[in-house]
Structure 1
């Protein structure tokens, strides 16, 4: 081995050794925090957090040499940011499960109110302080704050200066929970909060429906969680009316049975027909149907003779979701714009619902795509994208109605009044909702 190659090999070994030592130090720090947050009072956890990650003094409780649990292994700002965030989420996840919401807020306040301008004689600590100040002014810190805001006020009681996208944070959190660039603790926190926000919306919607149809109920106890006003009740009736033999669930079950053992070529044709079967205003969606059929026909032609399985179904459902929402993850698809330009978002929402009813595993992909659309439209003021917001509201309500833990039924309360057409008189019916499980707390 030449002198140059030997030196290069030694440099690689040294670099790998530093990387391994950094990872070991990080895991020791994370394990230490997990241990104290599960066994110590919150006040003590806050003190330890301040020592280690704000004052950058090693723990008195470690019983080890200096730096074992401290942050002195960090040599660049990106590693510092990742370490700080993961430490925060370790504590937040544990306190959230114990409902120690007060201390979650105190944790973030502890970071934000630190006097960054006070310098020390240690240049490395001074550098850490500047990085910590950058963190407090970053989007990552804003995400952390979102995990405490829900305990200060309802996610649906918006302040006048809040951005319109705040109403749809649950979808942005779903995208975060599947983002592998984030720590596992951050993903878990996003997943938990997203579920809580969805459950809260489902509960408040069910309670609003009950209150709005009963003169005896309090008019102030439960508010409408949507922004559609009292029109939401009629929308719900339009969605719930598809029950019984011709319900979306039954049609989905029939489709699944009928398409067993089909090859991919035949399944592509079957799913296109299924998605637009019974969709109202067929003449308005004919162009969409043709474009979707063309896209499906060209997708994975090399597997056309393969017999479908669950993996194929998931992949094709995810692909159809892309065609109908966003294919790039950055801008809306042509079919999305085309369908919503027809003026009835319910058509698109029902088609998306029918996809999930035949492949529940595709729901996370759908919600991530919804998050991508929200990210795209957030740069526009609310007044310029009301049609998109209306779509989101209809989407929220439809998927809340078809949630597994809530059963909605339409009950006829009076005889239909004579009408000049054959349309169902929805005013003669009332919606009843029943919580199957006590999911909201």
Structure 2
């Protein structure tokens, strides 16, 4: 049974509550958290959502929330708006985390959307109710509520995937934007957990969709348009994927990273900076771009921690140096793209730019979180632009997604193998059109056999040594 006490009756009821008089803000928060935890563990989501709304939206007493309402009154009475926002946010994430785990996705969406249904102009006779109304409105207008919306955007898109209305291009990179939530130690633990979980789910889904698209789109009897392209790069993406695999295999980036790590243990910091400069700039760049990158990075590294150059090399120094190198290549202030990023990306070096970032992660995996923050900041900077005005940077994000899926996050090995059905003379073998991308799960699960693709034993595994193995920016203009 739900009822609203008259203003004077509720005020007198709370003012006579000895427990509330001695309850500090942390105790009030604990009472509310325990109440919400009780809701998710003992009641169906529909009842839990109703109780949540009675407490926070309507300031309404029910059979379950009497003590919790007293705690909320004390928080309102003490005018602690920040504590209220923190409490409300954490309660939302307690509900979302538990409901998402149990796959109550509709209730997660209803919870977030219900904030927009609150009538902030409703008359409030009691001062604390008016204060609650104002604080709710401020919460809905805050970054905290935008974070909630971002968190459930994955489920919204799944629910509305049959609708014709297009998504904003930045929504394709939600897995990176969520880094601001799960990497912020000031956020509630529940928020960090659910943000990290959803980010990983989005990455895994893209990895699976890309692997299936690569495998099935190469089947000779595959119907056109049957398999959805998970990228935004159009029909040329398969050719681009072959270029990526050919480049990675041709230059042996994984082996280079292993050789680099083997060589540096006895280096001091000054020697490491010299080696890092060669490692970043030596392979893959066009000569003019390579010179500009080498000059910028050399000057930057030379000034970095000048007084520590004779120090023995430690993991913390490697991490700090790789993080600063990532900053130089992406964004140095966390708000606007760096001059070097614009220079490299605008001169047709997108593929080498992304591969360079991936190679930094190969030698320093702990820099991954910092890199994802920088990528998310770039997405935030450009998201106000329409896609047609920043097509080149969208291509950068797509390449970043693809390369990190193929070579950093993946448990699948990709190879470029010659089509056994190609019986043309040897002089034609250098064309990428004669090759297929073969994917093999590292646990030796034979996906190609399951999908009816040729097996490695029937394919020529040589890598084509042609100009096609170098990235051409026009690939993006063939859509």
Q: 1:409 aligns with which of 415, 439, 449?
A: 415
CA deviations 1:169-217 (Å, max 9, x no partner) are: 2211112221234333222222121111111111111111112111333
RMSD: 2.8
**2:370 maps to 1:365:** yes
SS at match of 2:222: coil
Q: 1:61 aligns with which of 59, 64, 75?
A: 64
Residues in 2 aligned to 1:85 and 1:62: alpha-carbon distance in whole angstroms = 18
**2:99 maps to 1:95:** yes
Deviation at 1:358, TM superposition (A): 0.6
Contact 1:314 1:361 in 2 (8 A): yes
**2:54 maps to 1:51:** yes
Change (3 A) 1:65 1:346: closer
**2:179 maps to 1:174:** yes
1:383 aligned partner: 388
SS at match of 1:148: helix
2:455 aligned partner: none
Deviation at 1:274, TM superposition (A): 1.0
Residues in 2 aligned to 1:189 and 1:297: alpha-carbon distance in whole angstroms = 41
Unaligned runs of 5+ in 2: 1-19, 446-479
Residues in 2 aligned to 1:63 and 1:276: alpha-carbon distance in whole angstroms = 66
Aligned length: 419
- The range that moved more, 176-185 or 303-312, is 176-185
**2:28 maps to 1:22:** no
Residues in 2 aligned to 1:348 and 1:416: alpha-carbon distance in whole angstroms = 35
Residues in 1 aligned to 2:401 and 2:168: alpha-carbon distance in whole angstroms = 18
TM-score by length of 1: 0.86
Residues in 1 aligned to 2:111 and 2:441: alpha-carbon distance in whole angstroms = 35
SS at match of 1:67: helix
1:427 aligned partner: 433
SS at match of 2:414: strand
Q: 2:153 aligns with which of 149, 162, 169?
A: 149
Matches within 5 A, 1:101-250: 101-154=105-158, 160=165, 162-242=167-247, 246-250=251-255
Residues in 1 aligned to 2:424 and 2:280: alpha-carbon distance in whole angstroms = 31
**2:264 maps to 1:262:** no
Deviation at 1:55, TM superposition (A): 1.8
Change (3 A) 1:51 1:160: closer
Residues in 1 aligned to 2:181 and 2:238: alpha-carbon distance in whole angstroms = 32
Residues in 1 aligned to 2:62 and 2:440: alpha-carbon distance in whole angstroms = 52
**2:78 maps to 1:73:** no
Residues in 2 aligned to 1:240 and 1:20: alpha-carbon distance in whole angstroms = 63
Residues in 2 aligned to 1:206 and 1:156: alpha-carbon distance in whole angstroms = 24
1:13 aligned partner: none
Deviation at 1:218, TM superposition (A): 4.8
Contact 1:417 1:425 in 2 (8 A): no
Deviation at 1:434, TM superposition (A): 3.8
Contact 1:155 1:167 in 2 (8 A): no
